[in-house]
Chains A and B, each alone.
Chain A
Amino acid sequence: MSYVAIKGGGCAIAGAAAVTEYLRTEQGLAGGAGGPLQIEAILHQLRHLVDRVVSEGGVYHPQFAALAIKQSLGDTLEAAFALRAWRSTRPRLTATPPLDTSRMRLIRRISSAFKEIPGGQMLGPTQDYALRLLRLELMDESPEAFRAMARTWLESCPEARLPDTFPKVLDALRMEGLLPPITATLGETPFDITREPLIFPVARSAALATMSRAETGSLLAIAYSNMRGYGDVHPTVAELRVGYLPVLLPHPVTGELTEAGEVLMTECEVVAMFEPAVAGGKPVFTIGYGACFGHNEVKAISMAILDRALQKGMQDGPANPSEDPEFVLLHVDGVDSMGFASHYKMPHYVTFQSDLDRLRTTQQKSGDLA
């Protein structure tokens, strides 16, 4: 008599992998018309997908993010996951000093607090005001039209020299005494969530880092709960900026800070309802901060709102889920939550057998009593 049911696991896994790989390459059957998706094409044409994956993966490696997207057939949770697992194999060799985001090479910058801001508003690439109409002409786009589009835009683009830095909107408010003074001392080591577990209560830097690589949808959902009634942050976007931030590292020989590269980032600063004065001070606005890799505006805004909500919760005790650091920070990680949801598909024969034993025994007992 053979051992029932659980033999042949290895074969089944290999088969599942093979059929998934078939789905990825299936298009190759159609008379050779379909070729493999090029990494470059993903990087450029599916850039927001790449942005999302570098952000949730917590590693700024757009090429590997594109590869992860390719091999996961476009599943963002899986792609961010693969990037994180790759990160686990890499030691942390160094850390940058805090980087000054006023030095970002901006592609977009807006403020909803003021009509005019120092340095000016810059709409940049956004779909905010696009009509969400299906562009049927893209259904069958010719390579010629595709190339012509880019060329025409570039040729018609006026030469303009952008300044190297843009002042922060918040700085102006701070000068006026409308914001709390900066209390954190420079050189304070931020909490590294990749090397230390969260033990509550956690530092604000730990909360920010956790949200920065959180799953976008999870972060949005909890932030949305705060926006629409389970909370009262009522934010104004003082500034939202998207651009390339120079990454500075100490030079290995001279120790001098040297630009080692740049990362595309989204940063959002919200100003929220003011707080009553503490002893000897005046009431001031409160601030929420959000920042993440890639161009992910909804995520940065959600994070800024939750940062503000969590600061409030840490100070006064949480009045709703979005102000509770444990609730927010332990439930927004995509790798954790998707993994656990998936694990329910694994065999649970033993525990279920044990459940059956308890139910049958209690049923029997209640039968005896009846």
Chain B
Amino acid sequence: MNKILEVRNLSKIYGPGCPQCLDSTGPESDTNLCPHCRSVVAIHGVSFDLFEGEILGVMGESGSGKSTVVKALYFDQAPSGGEAIFYDSPANAPEGKHDKQHNLFALNSAQQRWLRNHRFGMVYQNPNLGLNFNISAGGNIAERLLMSDLMDYGAIRERAKALLERTEVLLSRVDDLPKDFSGGMQQRVQIAKALATQPPLLFLDEVTTGLDLSVQARILDLILEIQQELKTAMVVVTHDLGVIRLLTGRAIVMKYGRVIETGLTDQILEDPQHAYTQRLVASAL
């Protein structure tokens, strides 16, 4: 299997930072707030690999830094340090538009935007972040297609409809505003939008949190189907062990900004090594 993403020593510190920040925070210190300079060490030393078509889980409680990881990779927030290499598959990338290998944080903002629009997709917990509520569901998908220079109205419309159909949004609602949709439907539109450019890499940040259980199950099914059909690699961020169990093959566990355990999902859930993971798994039973 080919590697699609390689993350090394990713870190993000909010605040001025000081020489004692790293030693004074993390799971041992039981905080991510530096007592010396009041900076928040949101993540530090996060490293992992992701392979084509694979789903990797990032789990942890709120404040563990798990969302910060995907926000940094999707260029929503610039990290304070670390490196990430995206290995684009030449088969998927449009002619002349790929370097094959992108050192994500060394790119300029235009290059980052290009990758974001063409090669990555993101589904946020809060649909407000992923969707423009003032334009129609179809318009939201059109926006992403227009970013990748598709300029034929008819073709854009057909593609938007096909995507909404694939994500099981009623076609009669293609021209309605997402703010009038239910939470589950909003997530489906977000997924359709993220998939519009057929990206090889998708980030999912707590996508089922706050939805009814039956709605959750159908969204998770949809994500699995898409992964099987399109072979999209995904990083799934969640605090929900059920989501981790259902979707992911491998997982990393985070606490106070650091990775404390990493391995095959089955292994982590059946035989957790770290005391914190053991408590997490036990509490979910």
Contact = CB atoms under 8 A, between A and B. Distances in A.
Interface in A155-210: none
Interface string A270-281: 000000111110
Contacts of B38: 276-277, 279
Nearest to A280: B37
Nearest to B38: A276
Q: Dominant SS at the A interface? A: loop
Interface residues of A, number: 5
Nearest to B36: A279
B134 to A, nearest CB: 20
Nearest to B16: A279
B18 interface: yes
Interface in A225-281: 276-280
Contacts of B18: 279
Given A279-B36, A279-B38, 7 more contacts: A276-B38, A277-B38, A278-B16, A279-B16, A279-B18, A279-B37, A280-B37
Contacts of B37: 279-280
Contacts of A278: 16
A281 to B, nearest CB: 10
Contacts of A280: 37
Interface in A260-310: 276-280
Contacts, number: 9
Nearest to B15: A279
Q: Dominant SS at the B interface? A: loop
9 contacts: A276-B38, A277-B38, A278-B16, A279-B16, A279-B18, A279-B36, A279-B37, A279-B38, A280-B37
A279 B16 CA distance: 7
A280 B16 CA distance: 11
Interface string B47-69: 00000000000000000000000
Interface string B14-53: 0010100000000000000000111000000000000000
Interface centre among A276, A277, A279 (most CB of B within 10 A): A279
Contacts of A277: 38
A276 B15 CA distance: 12
B128 to A, nearest CB: 17
A280 B20 CA distance: 13
Interface string B203-228: 00000000000000000000000000
A91 B213 CA distance: 72
Nearest to A278: B16
B40 to A, nearest CB: 13
A279 B19 CA distance: 11
B39 to A, nearest CB: 8
9 tightest A-B contacts by CB? A279-B37, A279-B16, A279-B18, A278-B16, A276-B38, A279-B36, A277-B38, A279-B38, A280-B37
A279 B20 CA distance: 12
B34 to A, nearest CB: 9
A279 B39 CA distance: 9
Nearest to B37: A279
A234 to B, nearest CB: 23
A277 B36 CA distance: 11
Nearest to A276: B38
A280 B36 CA distance: 8
Interface in B100-120: none
Nearest to A277: B38
Nearest to A279: B37
A277 B34 CA distance: 13
A276 B37 CA distance: 11
Contacts of A276: 38
A277 B39 CA distance: 11
A288 B38 CA distance: 25
A222 B63 CA distance: 37
Contacts of B16: 278-279
A123 to B, nearest CB: 44
Nearest to B39: A279
A279 B18 CA distance: 8
